[in-house]
Each structure stands twice: as structure tokens, then as C-alpha cells.
């Protein structure tokens, strides 16, 4: 019944959208602001990319002047201009999540878990402040607090390995099922965020006015059996078709826990079972996913033929490396079956291609800041009913390819380098 409701909901949403791309989809407030962000950061994806690279190096090395750099000042100017809109959108996103449980059966609190693993010259609180300051520009909702969860997860892993004496395999087994987020108001603009997975629970305070995070706490699962179906209905509300699809796929992992634990699968079997469950769901709902892809790809701007003219050097030798990121059957290439269920706008594929392109860049260091904060330089064009051409620019490279969104086949790859072979190195 739930699947039927999901299908009906998506088809109603797509009812006014032409598969031929003649009518562009409605743009939400979040999408509009993100587009304005991308436009604002465009110089740092192109002629001033070296300036952006310098700033990300300062962030990585925790330089004190991070907030004095022209890149940060440029981003902060945008935030100050739209501050109240940021705050409202953050509140809107928090409204999607359920409140945390009154108690955590089977979890035991760990006092000051992160203190033994601090850099003595840079405390955990300072690390969190830096991460949130850097990410403030792009943070419109809870999923955007990615640096905090990455930092805390790294520290928690160290604790589990050294203090709880868990193996990497045991940690991976329990984290395989994903995690759930819960939100509770504290006061004014402060909210308590609680993230639960099958291995541990972490909570922290998030101030949505300045994006700062504080007071992290950890609870570790003690092995007590949870009631079958524990938290199966505690996923956030969906405000968009993409969120709805993500919830469905994530729930497949969470609800698979009980079944796999009873069967005692090893790590490999667990991963295979989850992959098969997601792929099966994707295949059953392929028509809905295809329509969602139409909608998402139509949101990109038209192909940038003017900028493309500055990339005239063909570099076919790089193509093979990019193709290795795809699945191959005979002489045909297609989107990886691991990625396909989640891929709606080509972002997973583009990120994989960018990762490979880094191998060909002299003195260029990629990190998660580049793609996320500098924004998208992606364009699209619908060629036939089911085939789209995607074009993206990344430093000194221009990449284009065709994607059949109904079959996942990918063809007509073309990779070009800029005429100079370099980007502007002025700082």
C-alpha cells in the first residue's frame, strides 16, 4: 500500500512535466538559493580557481587567516545578504525530522569520548567551529552538516577500535544499515540533533543562526537485543520526490537489519544482500526514477558552448580511466548498479569522474570542499525522449557524455583540455 502511495505521489508531481522537456519544473526556494550560490561562486570554479585552492589548503592546515581570505569573505557576503532566508530554510528542514527517543535502550553513554584524541594544539571544539564556519555558506538543512558528522565519526571510530576493541569488520557490519536523525528544540535558535545507527548514537547542539555546533555526546551500543522493527517508521518527512526516493532506499537498509542478524551473514553477504535489495527496488520503480531524472536534469542550464571553445585539446588517453568508473558489458558502458538507485541528476557519476581527473592535475589537490562549496559547473541538453547530454567543466578539463536515463547506458564520451593547459594561477 505504501509503495502504491509513493508511486501515485510521484506521478502526480510529474503530471505537469513533459518528458520532452518542453516545460521546465517548478524551482523550490532551496533550489533557487542553491542556484544563486553556484552563480556567486562561478569565478572560483574558473578563472580564480587557484585562489579557491589556496583557501582550501588554509582550511586543511587550520590556518588562522581562513576567515580573512577573499574566498571566505566572498561567501560570507552572500550569507549576510540572505541570512534570514538561510535561517528559515534551516527551520523548514528541521521540521521534517521526528523528536528523539526519551531513552536509548541498549546504548551506554561514554563521557568525554573525544578528549584523548584531540590535537593538543587544536581542540575538538575548535575543529567543529572551523568546520561549521567553512560550511555555513552551503548549509540549508541538516544533511548539509556533513563536516561535523565526518569529524565525529572519525573520532568515534578511533574510540571503538582502541577502547571497545572492535574490529574494522565489526564496525562496518553495524554501520551498513545506515542511520536515523532526530531533532529537538532547545531554545531560541538552538536545536539538539541526535543521530542513531546500529553501533552508536551521537548528539550535538546546532545553532541555526551562526551554524555552530557544540556539546557532542556519544552512546555506544552494548549488544542488548532491540525489539524487531525498532525505529522502522522514524524516517524524516519528504518534501521533494528526491527525498522520498532517498527515504525508500535508506529504509531498505535499516529494515534489513533484523533479517540479516537472524541469518548471521558475514560482511560480504550483508553487503550483497543490501545491494540486491536496493537494485531490485530500483528496477521495480524504474519508470518513476526515469521521470524523476527528467525533472532533475531539466534544472541544469543550457550547454555552455562559449566557454567550451576554450577547451580545444582532445585528450582521449584520459577517457579509459573515466570509463573504469562505469560498468562494462562487452563494448557497452552503463551506470554502476551500486550508484544507479540513487542517481537522479548525474552528480554521483560526475563526482566519480572528477576523482579520476585529479590524477592528471599537476599541483592540484582535491578535497570535499571543492565540489561542494565551489558549486556545480554542470549543463544539460535533452537529445531524445530518454537520452540526455551532460556537460561539466572541472579545472582545466571539459567533459561531455550521453546518458540514457531509462537504460543507464552511457555513450559518446568526449574529454578536452583548456588551450593553455592551465588555469589562472594569480592570487
Query: If you average pLDDT over every residue of the chain, what do you get?
Result: 86
Q: Region 254-274: what's the mean pLDDT?
A: 85
CB atoms within 10 A of CB 83: 12
Find how far residue 425's CA is from the centre of its chain.
Answer: 29
CB 210 within 8 A of CB 239: no
**Entry pTM:** 0.86
In the numeric block, the cell 527496488 is attached to 281
The 10s digit of each residue's pLDDT in 164-192 is 899 988 888 888 899 999 999 999 999 99
Helix (H, G, I), strand (E, B) or coil at 48: coil
The pLDDT value recorded for residue 213 is 93
DSSP β-bridge partners for residue 149: none
Q: Region 302-330: what's the mean pLDDT?
A: 92
Distance CA 106, CA 260 (A): 19
CB 274 within 8 A of CB 253: yes
Q: Region 101-128: what's the mean pLDDT?
A: 80
Q: What percent of the chain has pLDDT over 90?
A: 57
Distance CA 360, CA 411 (A): 22
Distance CA 75, CA 43 (A): 12
Cα distances (angstroms) measured from residue 63 to each of 132, 160, 232, 307: 15, 30, 44, 34
The pLDDT value recorded for residue 419 is 75
Q: Region 348-377: what's the mean pLDDT?
A: 79
Q: Report angle CA 132, 158, 216 to the nearest 5 degrees.
A: 40
DSSP β-bridge partners for residue 393: 398
Closest CA to 136 of 213, 61, 32: 213
- Sign of the CA dihedral with 361 first, then 364, 365, and 369 last: negative
Q: How confident is the model at residue 344 (pLDDT cuts 50, 70, 90)?
A: very high
Amino acid at each position: 500500500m505504501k509503495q502504491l502511495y509513493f508511486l501515485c505521489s510521484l506521478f502526480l508531481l510529474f503530471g505537469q512535466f513533459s518528458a520532452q522537456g518542453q516545460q521546465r519544473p517548478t524551482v523550490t526556494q532551496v533550489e533557487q538559493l542553491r542556484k544563486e550560490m553556484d552563480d556567486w561562486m562561478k569565478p572560483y570554479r574558473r578563472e580564480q580557481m587557484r585562489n579557491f585552492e589556496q583557501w582550501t589548503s588554509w582550511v586543511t592546515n587550520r590556518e588562522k587567516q581562513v576567515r580573512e581570505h577573499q574566498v571566505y569573505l566572498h561567501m560570507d557576503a552572500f550569507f549576510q545578504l540572505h541570512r534570514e532566508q538561510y535561517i528559515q530554510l534551516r527551520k523548514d528542514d528541521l521540521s521534517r525530522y521526528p523528536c528523539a527517543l526519551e531513552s536509548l535502550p541498549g546504548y551506554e553513554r561514554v563521557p568525554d569520548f573525544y578528549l584523548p584524541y584531540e590535537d593538543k594544539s587544536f581542540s575538538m571544539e575548535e575543529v567543529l567551529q572551523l568546520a561549521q564556519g567553512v560550511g555555513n555558506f552551503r548549509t540549508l538543512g541538516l544533511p548539509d552538516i556533513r563536516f561535523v558528522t565526518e569529524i565525529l565519526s572519525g573520532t568515534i571510530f578511533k574510540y571503538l577500535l582502541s577502547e571497545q576493541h572492535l574490529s574494522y569488520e565489526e564496525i562496518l557490519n553495524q554501520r551498513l544499515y545506515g542511520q536515523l536523525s532526530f531533532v529537538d528544540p532547545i531554545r531560541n535558535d538552538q536545536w539538539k540533533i541526535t543521530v542513531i545507527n546500529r553501533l552508536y548514537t551521537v548528539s550535538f547542539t546546532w545553532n541555526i543562526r551562526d551554524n555552530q555546533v557544540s556539546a557532542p555526546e556519544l552512546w555506544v551500543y552494548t549488544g542488548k537485543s532491540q525489539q524487531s522493527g525498532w525505529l522502522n517508521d522514524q524516517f524524516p518527512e519528504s518534501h521533494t520526490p528526491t527525498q522520498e526516493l532517498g527515504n525508500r532506499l535508506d529504509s531498505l537498509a535499516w529494515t534489513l537489519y533484523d533479517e540479516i542478524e537472524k541469518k548471521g551473514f558475514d560482511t560480504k553477504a550483508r553487503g550483497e544482500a543490501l545491494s540486491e535489495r536496493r537494485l531490485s527496488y530500483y528496477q521495480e520503480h524504474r519508470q518513476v526514477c526515469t521521470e524523476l531524472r527528467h525533472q532533475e536534469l531539466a534544472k541544469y542550464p543550457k550547454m555552455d558552448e562559449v566557454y567550451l571553445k576554450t577547451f580545444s585539446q582532445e585528450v582521449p588517453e584520459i577517457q579509459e580511466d573515466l570509463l573504469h568508473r562505469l560498468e562494462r558489458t562487452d563494448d557497452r558502458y552503463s551506470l554502476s548498479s551500486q550508484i544507479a538507485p540513487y542517481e537522479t541528476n548525474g552528480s554521483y557519476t560526475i563526482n566519480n569522474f572528477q576523482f579520476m581527473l585529479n590524477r592528471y592535475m599537476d599541483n592540484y589537490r582535491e578535497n570535499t570542499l571543492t565540489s561542494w562549496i565551489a558549486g556545480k559547473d554542470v549543463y544539460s541538453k535533452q537529445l531524445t525522449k530518454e537520452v540526455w547530454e551532460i556537460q561539466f567543466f572541472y579545472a582545466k578539463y571539459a567533459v561531455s557524455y550521453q546518458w540514457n536515463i531509462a537504460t543507464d547506458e552511457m555513450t559518446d564520451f568526449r574529454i578536452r583540455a583548456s588551450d593553455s593547459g592551465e588555469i589562472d594561477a594569480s592570487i
